[in-house]
Structures are given as structure tokens and as C-alpha cells.
Amino acid sequence: MSLVNCVDSQNNLSVLGEDEYLSQFTVLNDKSKGICSLLSVDEQLKKLNKGLMHMETLICHQVYKNHEDLLNQVTWIENLEIIINEISLQLQNLQSLVELLKSRITELFLKVQTQVVILNRLHATCDLLRKITRTQSITLQAMDKENIISPNIIFEIKELIEDKDLKSITFLSKDLIKLRNIYEKINKYSV
């Protein structure tokens, strides 16, 4: 089919509507249902080919008439594909940056967690050292016969001799025994 035929053709779908057989493909009505049975297969094929040629002519005419719009649409589609590809690339870059950020945050979290564990251990150690110092100090005060033992110190002695951490320290065992004896004497006299 030549381009001249496409341009010169001014027919529309009315040609298909004039033929009873072809009109059944364009118009939905009850009258055209029995037409297939009246025509032979060759006649049906000829009419279908004629209809197809007419449709091709109409399509060519529409393409020729609207070729600028079609080219613009193709150009826009190509531009849209380029933009979509760029967005996809940017999304991949963003995803890799998110993964990098996630790994850095995880690394920093683990460092902070380790530091917290170390600080907790340091706190426990300092607390134990404070108790050791206080145990030795109270033992010296309690051994001095001239000092009167206040109720606060008695309470503190009770706390120290019941402390499980201090009981496990071997060099404090003598001081803890002394404090226990002093505490028992004080309780014995107060009752």
C-alpha cells in the first residue's frame, strides 16, 4: 500500500457500515448475526480482506495526518524512559547509601554497647573498691576502744558483713570477721 493511497483516502468507517457482512464487526445489532451463514467462506475471506485493506488505509491516513503528534509522543516516551532509568539509578545509589549508613550505625552501636559494658564494669569495680576502703576504715574505727559506735556505723557494719562481693575477697576476711564480732557484741548488749 503506497503513501499516496493513504493520503488520498478520505473514506471512514461508513464504508464498512455499507457492507452487511463487514458491518457486523463495527456495529452491534441483532440484524447482522445471520449474515455469516449466507456467504461462502471465500466470499467471507474476500470481504474480510477488503475490510482489512480499508482499515489499513484509515490507519495510514491517521498516521500521516497526526505524524507530528505521534513523533512527539515517541519522543516523550523516550524522554520518560531516560528519566525512569535515571530515577532507578538514583534509587540504587540511595539504597547503597542506606546500607552503608546502616552498617555504620550498627558499628557505632556496637562500640557504644561495648563502652557501656566497660563503664558498668568500672562502676562495679569502683563500688567494690569503695566498700573495701569503707570496711577497712570502719574496722580501724571499731577497734579503737575510745570511739563510740554510732547507729549509722552499726547499720553500715551490718551491710558490709552481709555483702556477698566482699565475702569473696580473701584479704578482707579478717576485717569482716572482726566487724561481725563487733556487730554481734553490740546486738548482744542492746538486747
DSSP 30: S
Asked whether 134 and 142 are in contact (CB, 8 A), the reply is no
Residue 8 C-beta-side C-alpha neighbours within 13 Å = 5
Domain limits of the chain?
3-65, 106-190
- At 126-153, the pLDDT tens digits run 999 998 898 888 888 877 766 677 788 8
- At 152-169, the pLDDT tens digits run 888 888 888 888 888 888
Does this model's pTM top 0.85? My answer is: no
Say which residues have a Cβ less than 8 Å from residue 153's Cβ, sequence separation at least 6. 138, 141, 142
Q: Please report, in tens digits, the pLDDT of each residue of the chain (191 residues total).
A: 344 344 444 445 555 556 666 666 654 444 545 555 577 888 888 888 888 898 899 888 888 888 888 888 889 999 999 999 999 999 999 999 999 999 999 999 999 999 999 999 999 999 999 988 988 888 888 777 666 777 888 888 888 888 888 888 888 888 888 888 888 888 777 65
> From CA 181, how far away is CA 175, in angstroms rounded?
10
